[in-house]
Chain A
Amino acid sequence: MSRPELLAPPEIFYNDDEARKYTSSSRIIDIQTQLSERALELLALPDDGVPRLLLDIGCGSGLSGETLTEHGHQWLGLDISESMLDIALEREVEGDLMLGDMGQGLGLRSGILDGAISISAVQWLCNADKSCHEPRIRLKAFFSSLYRCLGRGARAVLQIYPENLAQRELILGFAMRAGFSGGIVVDYPHSSKRRKEYLVLTCGPPSLSTTTPDGKGEDGESCSDEDSSEDEENQTVCISDRRRPRKRQKVNKKGKGRDWVLRKKEQMRKKGNAVPADSKYTAQLQHKELKLLLIDRSEKQKYSDKRRSSDCLKILAQFCET
């Protein structure tokens, strides 16, 4: 995984070239849209159709803001890169834009926001790009000002790419110290590629409504109910049978078998890959293989021998006639 935050400060890294590249790549647009959809889902705004006032921290070219607009919300975007904001202007995004540095604290009135999202931005705060930058002070300024701007009970969902465990704890620690309750939601924890972390923060003390939601792809949650119960059984068996010799499963003529295929599919599903549904055709033997199995080789041999001998008799008979 490439880490732009190790290369240069954001306002320099996202120059005109990089900003354009970022917004013309359909893959990045796709991922950004998915991330913002999920962030909005985790924001858990009341489902009453009233447009909310949201803040997009590190809005960039407004990819995440577009998702907010699609859901009918009004938003204000904050970014430090002028080039990215220029692209956002070109794309004619609906929300208002603002050039600013989240590490200097958000200069907004108290309690005005209904929620905040941020896609792949907050980990930049952990870098000291200038001599006056002190990550701890910047994180503190950011989270305390965010807490101030959000209305009571409002949520902030920050999707982050922490570099390591220490960084994750640093970010979460400052969020908690600012007064937020909540935690980290990890989607697809089994997959290194699709794994995504969201900091889900709620203004105010912990309560029933502030419990962090579950991540996707955990404990076969996103799969069907039947599968997860089976999965649990398999897991217990695995633990009790720990001493059995490995490589118990032999590869025979029939291939690895239906059970093996089903298990592999389950594993892939947990990683969050797209896997076709199971059916009676899953791991079905192909026609050729079936034939081979039905006709034993020795029998086949006999059959061809017989044919050969009958051919010989025919030829002999013809010979006699002539």
Chain B
Amino acid sequence: MRLLTHNMLSSNIKGVANGFPLKIEVVKVVEKEVDFNIDFLKNMFHKVEWKALAEASTTMGYAELPENVDAAMLDSDDFLHKFHHALLELHLEEGALVCPETGRKFPVNKGIPNMLLHEDEV
């Protein structure tokens, strides 16, 4: 699971008002190389919740992202490559996602988060 997906996922449990962002429990992280596409990054930049991404990337062991960003930084090549690496190349292979309100754990196995809810959570 990439951090792009982590940045989209929120806890869907009944009664949870703000299920975003899910906390990450890391067991294993892998890195896979992905083609660099500047258009996609620019498209995603406005959608990404930056604070969540920076925190998640630090949890995954990549603390290069700046804390605060603005659109002017998109001109910097260095920044774009860091953004690209954090967003698309870091994969959470084994671990868990934790709902910020209820503490419910969603296990991540082989890179696939199990977001299935129990009957009483729907």
> For the complex, what is the distance from the CA of A111 to the CA of B114, rounded to whole Å?
22
> For the complex, what is the distance from the CA of A141 to the CA of B1, rounded to whole Å?
25
Other than the known A49-B39, A104-B116, what 4 A-B pairs have Cβ atoms closer than 8 Å? A53-B4, A108-B10, A114-B43, A145-B12
In the complex, per-residue mask of A27-57: 1 if CB is within 8 Å of any chain B CB, else 0: 0000000000000000000000111110000
In the complex, per-residue mask of B1-27: 1 if CB is within 8 Å of any chain A CB, else 0: 110110111111000000110000000
Interface size of A as a range:
20 to 34
Contact yes or no, B111 A89, CB < 8 A: yes
What residues of chain B lie closer than 8 Å to A52, measured between beta carbons? Answer: 43
Contact yes or no, A50 B119, CB < 8 A: no
Q: Is A80 an interface residue (CB 8 A)?
A: yes
| Best-buried of A74, A106, A107 by chain B (most CB within 10 Å) | A107
* Distance between B77 CB and nearest chain A CB, rounded to angstroms: 19
> For the complex, what is the distance from the CA of A55 to the CA of B49, rounded to whole Å?
18
In the complex, per-residue mask of A103-117: 1 if CB is within 8 Å of any chain B CB, else 0: 011111101111000
Q: Is A186 an interface residue (CB 8 A)?
A: no
Quick one: given A76-B8, A104-B117, A109-B7, are A89 and B112 in contact (CB under 8 Å)? yes
> For the complex, what is the distance from the CA of A89 to the CA of B111, rounded to whole Å?
9
Q: Is A261 an interface residue (CB 8 A)?
A: no
Q: Is A208 an interface residue (CB 8 A)?
A: no
> For the complex, what is the distance from the CA of A106 to the CA of B11, rounded to whole Å?
9
> For the complex, what is the distance from the CA of A16 to the CA of B43, rounded to whole Å?
38
Q: Is B72 an interface residue (CB 8 A)?
A: no
Q: Is A125 an interface residue (CB 8 A)?
A: no
Interface set, chain B 18-43, CB cutoff 8 A to A: 19-20, 37, 39-40, 42-43
Partner of A80, one of B11, B37, B116, B122: B116
Chain A positions near chain B (C-beta within 8 angstroms): 49-53, 72, 74, 76, 80, 85-86, 89, 96-101, 104-109, 111-114, 130, 132, 141, 145
* Distance between B105 CB and nearest chain A CB, rounded to angstroms: 14
> For the complex, what is the distance from the CA of A82 to the CA of B47, rounded to whole Å?
29
Closest residue of chain A to B113, judged by CB?
A98
What residues of chain B lie closer than 8 Å to A141, measured between beta carbons? Answer: 122
What residues of chain B lie closer than 8 Å to A113, measured between beta carbons? Answer: 8
Contact yes or no, B40 A50, CB < 8 A: yes
Contact yes or no, B11 A107, CB < 8 A: yes
* Distance between B73 CB and nearest chain A CB, rounded to angstroms: 19
Contact yes or no, B5 A98, CB < 8 A: yes
Partner of B119, one of A98, A112, A132: A132
Contact yes or no, A53 B44, CB < 8 A: yes
* Distance between A219 CB and nearest chain B CB, rounded to angstroms: 38
Partner of A101, one of B37, B43, B111, B116: B116
Partner of B113, one of A74, A89, A99, A111: A99
> For the complex, what is the distance from the CA of A50 to the CA of B39, rounded to whole Å?
5
Contact yes or no, A106 B12, CB < 8 A: yes
Contact yes or no, B40 A107, CB < 8 A: no
